[in-house]
Amino acid sequence: MGVGQNEPVPHTSVAEHRIALRHVIGAAATEVIPVDRHALGRRLAEPLLAIDDLPRFDSSAMDGYAAVPETPDQRVFLVVGDVAAGDAAGFVLEPGQAARVMTGARLPTGAVGVVPVEQTDAERTGPAPRQVTFAAPVAPGRHVRKQAEDIAAGVPVAGTGAPLTAAVIALARSAGCTEAVVHVPTRVAVVATGAELTVPGVDPGRGGIHESNSEMVAALASAAGCSVTRVATCTDDPGALEGLLTELSAAPDVDLVITTGGVSAGAYEVVRQVCEPRESFSFVHLAMQPGGPQGLGRWDGMPVVCLPGTPVGAFVSFEMLVRPALDERHGAPARGASSAAYVGRPRHTRAGMVQFISGVVAPDGTVSAPDARHLSALAGSNALIEVPETVEQIVPGDIVTVHPL
């Protein structure tokens, strides 16, 4: 669970609201987990250090013969050993001697280099010969994987905040790591409010609409590294919402509640009606479009983030406000914005408010805004274009700030 205090957090601007969100959501707990396939995607809460050198010893990079020449041009050698992968190779090669070695096998002490079997007169299978002739002299260090050339013991396999990818898991296990300290994914409950909402399979009638916010926000939370444990809808009945929030605040599998709808200043704003009387909650209208109405606080200690009810407003609010706080909580690096040349049609924006417009970044790095409106535009976008509050219009050729989706 997040920070347990119930003090209100004053905020008015978008920047201040982001700070307040980080404060309410708080830091994630950490846990120790095995370094295995189930760790995929988890983020490190502290550096993961190599336990052993990799390779642990000088080894052969090829099937062939490790040798110690008496002279630089020597090509005929006495074969005194046969080393398979996993063998201890507990003998010393003297000048003029060679040993057959397999790929990954430990090299006998003294070996100067390895000659691939293809460059010898030896058979590739069967017992090792008593003598071998090389097509060329032994090149010192050739086809030898030196101890710790990949990574040395004590060196970080991956740093704090890094995700445990398949490659990192492979490197960590190869370097002897068995456990990692990671951030615990935030367990999220999503509640979509509104008397007009109907669940799938139910006829919305003349005044209802198909509910989409709950699954959309759940998908966004999952993409942000959260574990979505509860998804619910609620009518505009204050008693029903109060009971649901009380239930969720006591749930052992919930760290954060995200609601949608009911946060404006109208007559049927159930989330605001239920939560605002509590001193821990703050409701504001940010200088931001879409997604101006926002709320946050704690219900019996449980962090609650209240997003607007329009799907586009809820989406933009999550990506631009909630996602950065969750990334910080999970130890993930901030998703950086970039600059791009705008090539779409001229777009008028509302002065005095930060605008977020659905955008499409092309392979050449330019960005345009879809002609479609609202949710259909968002569905066809791969970015959000941020237009500062001081700008009233963007035209082709303008350099704009772009947030990837």
- Amino acid 154: pLDDT: 98
The residues of the chain scoring below 70 in pLDDT are: 1-11, 372-373
pLDDT of residue 9: 42
pLDDT given for residue 352 in this prediction:
86
- CA–CA distance, 102 with 50 (Å, rounded to integer): 26
Structure tokens at 161: 């905040």
Residue 367's SS3 state is strand
* Residue 303: predicted pLDDT: 98
Place of tokens 């293809």: 118
d(Cα 168, Cα 148) in Å, to the nearest integer? Answer: 17
Q: What is the pLDDT of residues 221-242, one digit of tens each?
A: 999 999 999 999 999 999 999 9
CATH topology of domain 14-27+185-330: Molybdenum Cofactor Biosythetic Enzyme; Chain A (3.40.980)
CA angle 186, 236, 379 (to 5 degrees): 55
What would the CATH number be for the domain defined by 338-404?
Answer: 2.40.340.10
Domain 30-54+149-183 class? alpha beta
DSSP designation for 275? H
Q: Count other C-beta atoms under 10 Å from residue 8's C-beta.
A: 15
CATH 2.170.190.11, the chain: domain bounds: 59-145
59-145 CATH, one of 3.40.50.970, 2.170.190.11, 3.40.640.10, 3.50.30.60: 2.170.190.11
* DSSP string over 128-191: PPSEEEBSSPPPTTTTEE-TTSSB-TTSEEE-TT-B--HHHHHHHHHTT--EEEEEPPPEEEEE
Q: Which part of the chain is CATH 3.90.105.10?
A: 30-54+149-183
Contact 1, 28 (CB under 8 A): no
**In contact, 217 and 260? CB cutoff 8 Å:** yes
Q: Which residues of the chain are in CATH 3.40.980.10 domains?
A: 14-27+185-330
Q: Where, residue-wise, is CATH 2.40.340.10 in the chain?
A: 338-404
Q: Which helix (H) or strand (E) holds 242?
A: helix 238-249
DSSP 109: B
